[in-house]
Amino acid sequence: MRRHVTAYGFLGAALVVFAVFSWFPIVRGVVLSFQQVNFVTSPDWVGWENFERLFADPLFGVAWRNTFYFTVLAMLIGFGVPFVTAVVLNELRHAKGYFRLLVYLPVMLPPVVTALLWKWFYDPGPGLFNSVLRGLGLPTGQWLDSSSTSMISLVLVITWANMGAATLIYLAALQTIPGELYEAADLDGAGIVRKVWHVTIPQTKFVILMLLLLQVVATMQVFTEPFIMTGGGPEESTVTVLLLLYRYAFYYNDFGTASALSLILFAVLGVFSFLYLKLTRKADA
Amino acid sequence: MRTLTRGRGPVYWAVLTITLVLFTAAFLLPLVWVLLGAFKPPAELARQPPTILPETWEPGAYVDAWNYMDLGRFFLNTFVVAIGAWAVQMAVIVPAAYALSKLRPWGGNVVMGLMLATLMLPSTAVLVPVYLTLTDLGLLNNPAGIWLPAAANALNVYLLKRFFDQIPEELLEAARIDGASTWTTLVRVVLPISRPILAVVSIFAVVAAWKDFIWPLLVFPDPAKQTLSVALQRFAPDTPINLLLAGLVLASLPMVALFLAFQRHILAGLTAGGVKG
């Protein structure tokens, strides 16, 4: 009995913090989705009105389309690049420390710093990228200033900023592949591509899948980069779900509708998060 | 160890050279470009084609940026937020993980399960309700508005618990026979053995707090209380470009220094499950 009392004494602070800032807000978020909050009188129940308001907002569809487009681009670029980088780095016997240091350096920079730096690099006039392109005699780009390239420009920033973590995690996974598997593939006369396809990928598929899910969850919540670099523009081409949520909550002070949007986002992401948790649990067992 | 290729031939050296060039160009040159850019006067920065090395060196930009944006204040604010977030989180989760791992109270598994369940929740899904709860508690413009929510970190509770689980029971039993209380056992026996995982969790807690943007943006409407990230994005539109660049460099230095100092811990921590960092 005393053991249990002592144990809950040790757990007390954590239980309070989790209750107030995690468990209760989850319930409150669901409740808020069906309420109108105005801070003067107590909140009114409004049924599905908040959801109806969202569905009637043309930006709702735009934000989801942008977010899915962003996620697909981030998967094509941000997912493939770190894996390929890790496979190449794993083959190199020189400058190992230098490569690891460099690829992880951007991960340490505050995202606001990275976003403001890249905004300067993207400047269509004297910006770094167009200056380099001009110097090479290549056509320049409008980057963030054109609605057709704004999203891919954001994906490049986020890939640059975050690929270090994924690369190093892949690298650690690659180092656990038994060398005999490659020797066996050599005996079968397999080339590099076939070895990657039949040995490297199957041997790391668990880590690949885990990072894929984590990345989907993270990219669908993208906020800082579009908030700072484009503010959702040009022509709403970079309004993401989270940017819309922020507008509802902090520009229109409509916390009910913002919560309804959170609930929808949660439902979509919940599927991915659930898969991730199932996978990590399985890995531990 | 045997990997994909065996070569040390010309192909190997070509790939090595290309990778070296690409990495340096992609990750080092942009940072050098910013460092140099801050030394150039605004008129030179607007020039096309750009100068590589500054024609006129203006090292004063770093001092001017510090004064113009009052960076000292925001460094201090960020420092308070980050160190406080670390201290509060440790004070909350270390005893909790110890209780869940070694004291095994009735219902402990349910508590761990409920904590882990919050990991399925995207952090931004509770943005509005947590913000309203902070408002109700009067924690806006107060660093505790960052510290307390950050302490509810289920991943770190789990990482610590998993580490504590591997500490042999006999060691704790021996301490108990020597008359050590549960608290003394935690401080004198468990914590010293757990230094590696504590280092990893600590570094990631500090880095996460320093890098965070959206929470400080919401918690500190008062400009005087803001963190570096929030202040920099507020100053960005009306600050001369050379001063802004200098400010960005200065704001990054602590994290770069931390990385160089604890590189091994950080890179090891990544694979220990600190994937979220």
Nearest residue, CB atoms, A131 vs list B48, B96, B263: B48
| Whole-number pLDDT of residue B55 | 83
B23-79: pLDDT as tens digits = 999 999 999 999 999 999 888 888 878 888 888 888 888 999 999 999 999 999 999
Other CB atoms within 10 Å distance of the CB of residue A180: 9
Q: Give the ipTM of the model, two decimals please.
A: 0.90
Predicted pLDDT of residue B277? 31
Q: In chain B, which among 128-157 make CB contacts under 8 A with chain A?
A: 128-133, 137, 148-149, 151-152, 154, 157
Distance CA B261, CA B41 (A): 33
Question: What pLDDT is attached to residue B276?
Answer: 37
Cβ distance B133 to A111 less than 8 Å, yes or no, reads no
Contact (CB<8Å) B31/A105: yes
Contact of B239 with chain A, judged by CB distance below 8 Å, is answered with no
Of A128, A210, A217, the CB nearest to B122: A217
Q: What are the chain A neighbours of B228 within 8 Å (beta carbons)?
A: 110, 112
Q: What is the dihedral of CA B44, B237, B248, B23, to 10 degrees?
A: -70
- Interval A235-260: pLDDT, tens: 889 999 999 999 999 999 899 999 99
Q: Which residues of B touch A172 (CB under 8 A)?
A: 270-271
Task: Name the strand (E) or helix (H) holding A35.
Answer: strand A35-36
Q: A46: part of which helix (H) or strand (E)?
A: none
Residue type, B201: V
Cβ distance of B229 and A110 shorter than 8 Å = yes
Alpha carbon of A148: minimum distance to chain B alpha carbons (Å)? 24
Helix axes A96-108, B10-23, angle to 10 degrees: 20
Identity of the residue in B2, B105, B149 whose CB atom sits nearest the CB atom of A182: B2
List the single residue in B49, B93, B210 with the smallest CB-CB distance to A110.
B210
Instruction: List the 57-86 stretch of B: residues with Cβ below 8 A of A.
Output: none
Helical spans, DSSP H, in chain B: 10-23, 29-37, 42-45, 60-68, 71-98, 108-117, 127-136, 144-151, 154-165, 169-177, 182-184, 191-193, 195-211, 214-219, 228-235, 241-271
Task: Name residue, tokens 């549960």.
Answer: B182
B233 touches chain A (CB under 8 A): yes
Nearest CA in chain A to B102: A7
CB contacts, 8 Å: B108 with chain A: 7
Give the other-Cβ count within 10 Å of A252's Cβ.
10
B144: left (phi over 0), alpha (psi -120 to 50) or beta: alpha
The shortest CB-CB distance from B99 to any of A7, A195, A266 is to A7
Enumerate long-range contacts of A24-27, CB under 8 Å, 24 or more apart. Answer: A24/B129, A24/B133, A25/B126, A25/B129, A25/B130, A25/B133, A26/B118, A26/B121, A26/B126, A26/B129
CA Rg, chain A, in Å? 23
**Tens digit of each residue's pLDDT, chain B (277 residues):** 577 777 678 888 999 999 999 999 999 999 999 999 999 988 888 887 888 888 888 888 899 999 999 999 999 999 999 999 999 999 999 999 999 998 888 888 999 999 988 887 777 788 999 999 999 999 999 999 999 999 999 989 999 999 999 999 888 888 888 888 888 888 888 999 999 889 889 998 999 999 999 999 999 999 999 999 999 999 999 989 999 999 999 999 999 999 999 888 888 777 765 443 3
- Comparing alpha-carbon positions, the chain B residue that sits nearest to A4 is B105
The Cα–Cα gap between B213 and B225 comes to: 14
Instruction: Tell if the CB–CB gap between B23 and A224 is shorter than 8 Å.
Output: no
**C-beta atoms of B275 and A245 within 8 A:** no
CB atoms near residue B19 (< 10 Å): 18
Would you say A168 and A101 are in contact if contact means Cβ atoms under 8 Å apart? no
Q: Which of A22, A26, A81 to mutate to test the interface with B (most CBs of B within 10 A)?
A: A22
Strand partners, B193: none
Restricting to B residues 164-223, those with a Cβ less than 8 Å away from any Cβ of A are 182, 186, 207, 210-211, 213-214, 218
Residue B134 is predicted with a pLDDT of 95
Cα gap B169→B157, rounded to integer Å: 20
Q: How far is A155 from chain B (nearest CA, A)?
A: 15
